[in-house]
């Protein structure tokens, strides 16, 4: 899996990060193909100290690999640490965001991870289909920078601080 990664605030971006330690500490998974929107999201969360462990994945295929295809050198599937939330764009290269959502919500190991669609599409068809697939929230990206920043800050504050999380990692035996 090749993913763009943001680590903690004040630390640089990495083009490729392949450490299990970091993968097992991800709190927020951002699945977004637009580098500008990813950077704006990171900055908005960082400004409010909400961006402790954020992983940015740039396409739907890499996102599915992150959850469903991690193996150790012996070929056995690794126990996967789950983020607290997933921010998902619908219009992704390789595998569409709706298919990523479908797979996440149809698998017992990922079904209860909150998924927030953060997309430019305000089309009713996309909204209806996303909720039918089990999305927890659907947000249309504001075009204006300040409005975008405020929307990301508010969703981060709610989903990372106020919302009570089911600790999936304890359920699957990861501390």
List, for residues 9-22, the tens digit of each pLDDT value: 333 343 334 444 44
pTM: 0.78
User: For the chain, which residues score pLDDT lower than 70?
Assistant: 1-25, 51-52, 70-81, 165-175
Q: Which residue has the tokens 């943001």?
A: 6
pLDDT at 26: 75
Q: What residue ranges do the domains of the chain occupy?
A: 20-170
pLDDT at 79: 53
pLDDT at 154: 84
**3-state DSSP call for residue 153?**
helix
pLDDT at 156: 80
pLDDT at 70: 58
Furthest C-alpha separation in the chain: 49
Q: Which CATH architecture has domain 20-170?
A: 3-Layer(aba) Sandwich (3.40)
- 57 DSSP assignment: E
CB 147 within 8 A of CB 118: no
Cα–Cα distance, 172 to 41 (Å, whole number): 29
pLDDT at 143: 84
């Amino acid at each position: 899996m090749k993913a763009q990664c943001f680590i903690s605030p004040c630390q640089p971006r990495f083009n490729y990060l392949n450490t299990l330690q970091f993968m097992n500490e991800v709190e927020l998974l951002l699945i977004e193909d637009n580098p500008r929107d990813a950077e704006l999201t990171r900055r908005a969360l960082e400004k409010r100290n909400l961006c402790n462990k954020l992983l940015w994945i740039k396409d739907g295929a890499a996102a599915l690999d992150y959850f469903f295809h991690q193996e150790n050198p012996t070929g056995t599937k690794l126990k996967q640490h789950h983020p607290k939330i997933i921010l998902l764009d619908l219009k992704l290269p390789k595998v569409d965001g709706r298919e990523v959502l479908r797979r996440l919500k149809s698998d017992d190991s990922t079904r209860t991870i909150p998924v927030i669609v953060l997309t430019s599409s305000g089309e009713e068809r996309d909204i209806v289909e996303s909720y039918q697939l089990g999305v927890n929230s659907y947000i249309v990206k504001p075009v204006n920078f300040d409005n975008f920043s405020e929307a990301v800050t508010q969703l981060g504050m709610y989903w990372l601080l106020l919302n009570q999380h089911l600790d999936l990692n304890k359920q699957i035996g990861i501390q």
